[in-house]
């Protein structure tokens, strides 16, 4: 397999998804009948992409098994056991996703093996670990994209909770004030997650009343009533008080390492991650929450949010650097006045066109047209290619 192929990708229909964002990207005129949350590009066993190969529609995962070195490249195949190490997604959130975190590599292996020994089915609602891989991820906004990311600095948590819930959270606030450390932050969060239901209701009611009074003073206060509309009895509605609230502008990106608590609130973005589906939830969800396992996975480090500063590597490409060995995201901008944008493939790439039209051409003359919503796989054996046109394209690759 040494040619560039157009991919046919699976859409995940989750309740928080948008009826319009993914259809618009794919050039469909009508909204979808069900909320479409994620478009998966890759070879994950849950929803592998397909392509037409030698006259047949085949799963990308099956083709990689047949020809791992041709598709992945020798270095990638050896390093990642003959598997595509990343999963590329379009994420379209019309409602908040669950507050969640992902395990590191050792935790994923241990958790997966433990749940296998307990004979918990992979599709069981109380299953935490769907595979044995960690899940660092990068999110890059295609539209204004609002999110919660990582614990706030402790002085901010103390100020916001005192303003919004002075009575209900007094015990937790005094405890955190006396021990303003990672351990104190862990105890604060654990108390929120394990308190009796009646106390949760009282705290949510007090917070909701005060959030209305002080809504003009801080965006976090305005967020609480919005979250309450979707999850009225969930303690996760207080998340903006202890997690950093951020809005990414289109083209801005951030990296989420293992153990960092986060939630995506709304917007459309590109998500690139290690090829895993492991999620530990902590609120804003009707799904299973395993508090002890979540506490085991979380990193209780208070910090301010830092965005990824893209690095220009040519006149037409800029890279979003992350520490993840499995993936690298870059944005390609080609214009009609460029002679061509030239690329040399060292490992497998997946490209998605998000605007405009272009054409990809290999050295042997094989070409593939690109338009908004079209994605392609470039196997390592494809060698060199160029892109001509007027287009914005995002590329997933493996850093080598």
The CATH code of domain 151-243 reads: 1.10.441.10
Q: What is the pLDDT along the chain (400 residues), one digit of tens a residue?
A: 899 999 999 999 999 999 999 999 999 988 999 999 999 999 998 899 999 998 899 999 999 999 999 999 999 999 999 999 999 999 999 999 999 999 999 999 999 999 999 999 988 989 999 888 888 999 999 999 999 999 999 999 999 999 999 999 999 999 999 999 999 999 999 999 999 999 999 999 999 999 989 989 999 999 999 999 999 999 999 999 999 999 999 999 999 999 999 999 999 999 999 988 889 999 998 889 999 999 999 999 998 888 998 999 999 999 999 999 999 999 999 998 887 789 999 899 999 999 999 999 999 999 999 999 999 999 999 999 999 999 999 999 999 8
Check: CATH 2.60.120.10 for 8-148+247-279?
A: yes
Domain coordinates of the chain in residue numbers? 8-148+247-279, 151-243, 311-397
Whether domain 311-397 has CATH 2.60.120.10: the reply is yes
- In the numeric block, the tokens 């508090």 are attached to 291
**Residue 308: in which H helix or E strand, if any?**
none
Whether 281 is catalytic: yes
- Same-fold call for 8-148+247-279 versus 151-243: no
Contact (Cβ atoms closer than 8 angstroms) between residue 299 and residue 138 = no
Quote the CA–CA distance of 256 and 365 in Å, as a whole number. 40
For 244, the token pair is 């950093």
**Contact call for residues 278 and 129 (beta carbons, < 8 A):** yes
- Is the separation of the CB atoms in 252 and 144 below 8 Å? no
3 state DSSP class of 331: strand
Q: Pick the catalytic residue from 146, 173, 281, 318.
A: 281
pLDDT value at residue 277 = 83
Q: Which long-range contacts (CB under 8 A, 24 or more apart) does 232-236 make?
A: 232/204, 233/197, 233/200, 233/201, 233/204, 234/283, 234/284, 234/285, 235/192, 235/193, 235/195, 235/200, 235/203, 235/204, 235/283, 236/98, 236/99, 236/263, 236/282, 236/283, 236/284, 236/285
Nearest to 279 by CA among 150, 129, 114, 171: 129
Beta bridge partners of 255: 138
């Amino acid at each position: 397999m040494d040619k560039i192929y157009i991919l046919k990708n699976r859409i995940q229909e989750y309740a928080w998804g948008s009826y319009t964002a993914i259809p618009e990207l794919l050039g469909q005129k009508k909204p979808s009948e069900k909320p479409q949350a994620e478009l998966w590009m890759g070879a994950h066993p849950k929803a592998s992409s397909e392509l037409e190969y030698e006259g047949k529609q085949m799963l990308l995962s099956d083709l990689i098994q047949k020809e791992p070195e041709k598709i992945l490249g020798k270095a990638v195949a050896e390093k990642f056991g003959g598997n595509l190490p990343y999963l590329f997604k379009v994420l379209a959130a019309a409602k908040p996703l669950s507050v969640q975190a992902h395990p590191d590599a050792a935790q994923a292996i241990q958790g997966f093996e433990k749940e296998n020994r307990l004979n918990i089915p992979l599709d069981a609602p109380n299953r935490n670990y769907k595979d044995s891989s960690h899940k660092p991820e990068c999110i890059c906004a295609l539209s204004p994209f609002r999110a919660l990311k990582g614990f706030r600095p402790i002085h901010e948590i103390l100020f916001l909770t005192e303003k919004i819930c002075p009575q209900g959270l007094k015990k937790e606030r005094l405890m955190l004030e006396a021990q303003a450390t990672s351990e104190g932050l862990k105890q604060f969060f654990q108390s929120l997650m394990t308190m009796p239901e009646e106390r949760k209701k009282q705290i949510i009611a007090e917070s909701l009343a005060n959030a209305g009074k002080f809504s003009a003073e801080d965006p976090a206060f305005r967020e609480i009533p919005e979250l309450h509309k979707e999850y009225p009895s969930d303690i996760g509605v207080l998340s903006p008080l202890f997690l950093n609230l951020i809005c990414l502008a289109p083209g801005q990106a951030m990296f989420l390492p293992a153990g960092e608590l986060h939630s995506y609130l709304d917007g459309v973005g590109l998500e690139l991650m290690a090829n895993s589906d492991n999620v530990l939830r902590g609120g804003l969800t009707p799904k299973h929450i395993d508090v002890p396992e979540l506490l085991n996975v979380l990193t209780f480090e208070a910090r301010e949010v830092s965005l990824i500063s893209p690095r220009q590597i040519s006149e037409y490409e800029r890279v979003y650097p992350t520490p993840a060995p499995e993936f690298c995201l870059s944005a390609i901008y080609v214009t009609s006045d460029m002679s061509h944008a030239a690329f040399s493939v060292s490992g497998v790439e997946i490209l998605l066109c998000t605007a405009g039209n272009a054409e990809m051409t290999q050295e042997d003359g094989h070409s593939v047209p690109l338009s908004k919503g079209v994605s392609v796989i470039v196997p390592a054996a494809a060698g060199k290619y160029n892109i001509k046109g007027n287009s914005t394209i995002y590329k997933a690759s493996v850093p080598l």
